[in-house]
């Protein structure tokens, strides 16, 4: 998906009364998308949102978040270096801080069940998709800052089904060993995509795809892509 397709709806946030303020860090590996979000919500005098930092991968995200201690982080699920879940894991002490905890709102093009479960299990306060309007994104930021849980409408029912039962969601220990990017590659391999097609879709090199496939096979103790496809199909990941 192109950066242009990833951008939020162009609806501009309405003017809000002066008096509310949220310091925000944007974490997304697409620079054009970050620029679009900044233009959409970062007019502090109008929206009350101040963008205090940006990051394009896991290491940058952890560094910027630790240095700026924002109220809210807009976090993409798919990032180089381990994905949004890895950012959440490394920022767990900041989320648990007694004073001024850092709160995370996932902002992703993906509405896949495993992506939503992964970041919510990791500690994110909400999950919205990149089709959200600027006005609604600003509102979601302040709701998360206040401690509310926020989800895109089409995800809300799924989240309730997954987490409102008395039984905890099942944990697949094999799947949990994979990074977010490895899961993406796994899913595409299982769907029959060639390495070149996967590289194009994920904006990475063919060599990087090969490295991810090797890592997946090693972690899952599988021998080839046919076994990998059967493994993914059995878990309904395709």
158: pLDDT strictly greater than 90 = no
Q: Rounded to the nearest 5°, which phi and psi values hold at 227?
A: -65, -40
For the segment 54-87, what is each residue's pLDDT rounded down to a tens digit? 999 999 999 999 999 999 999 999 888 888 999 9
Q: Which sign, positive or negative, has the C-alpha torsion 125, 127, 133, 136?
A: negative
pTM as predicted: 0.64
| Percent with pLDDT over 90 in the chain | 44
Question: For all residues of the chain together, what is the average pLDDT?
Answer: 84
- The average pLDDT across 159-184 equals 67
DSSP string across 167-191: SPPP--HHHHTS-HHHHHHHHHHHT
| Percent with pLDDT over 70 in the chain | 84
Report the phi/psi class of residue 48: left, alpha or beta, with left for phi > 0 and alpha for psi in -120 to 50.
left
For the segment 110-136, what is each residue's pLDDT rounded down to a tens digit? 887 778 878 888 899 999 998 899 999
pLDDT of amino acid 160: 65
pLDDT of amino acid 232: 82
Which of 34, 83, 91 minimizes the C-alpha distance to 66? 91
pLDDT of amino acid 87: 94
């Amino acid at each position: 998906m192109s950066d242009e397709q990833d951008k939020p709806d162009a609806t501009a946030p309405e003017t809000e009364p002066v008096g509310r303020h949220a310091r925000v860090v944007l974490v997304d590996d697409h620079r054009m998308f970050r620029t679009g979000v900044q233009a959409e919500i970062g007019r502090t005098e109008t929206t009350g949102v101040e963008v205090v930092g940006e990051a394009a991968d896991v290491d940058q995200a952890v560094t910027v978040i630790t240095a700026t201690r924002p109220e809210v982080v807009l976090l993409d699920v798919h990032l180089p270096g381990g994905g949004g879940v890895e950012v959440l894991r490394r920022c767990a002490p900041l989320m648990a801080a007694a004073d001024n905890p850092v709160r995370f709102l996932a902002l992703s093009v993906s509405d896949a069940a495993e992506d939503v479960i992964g970041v919510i299990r990791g500690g994110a306060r909400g999950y919205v998709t990149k089709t959200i309007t600027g006005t609604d994104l600003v509102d979601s930021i302040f709701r998360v800052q206040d401690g509310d849980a926020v989800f895109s409408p089409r995800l809300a029912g799924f989240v309730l089904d997954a987490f409102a039962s008395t039984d905890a969601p099942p944990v697949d220990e094999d799947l949990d060993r994979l990074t977010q990017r490895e899961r993406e590659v796994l899913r595409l391999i299982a769907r029959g995509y060639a390495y070149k097609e996967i590289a194009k879709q994920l904006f990475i090199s063919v060599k990087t795809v090969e490295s991810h496939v090797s890592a997946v096979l090693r972690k899952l103790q599988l021998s080839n892509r046919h076994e990998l496809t059967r493994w993914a199909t059995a878990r309904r990941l395709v």
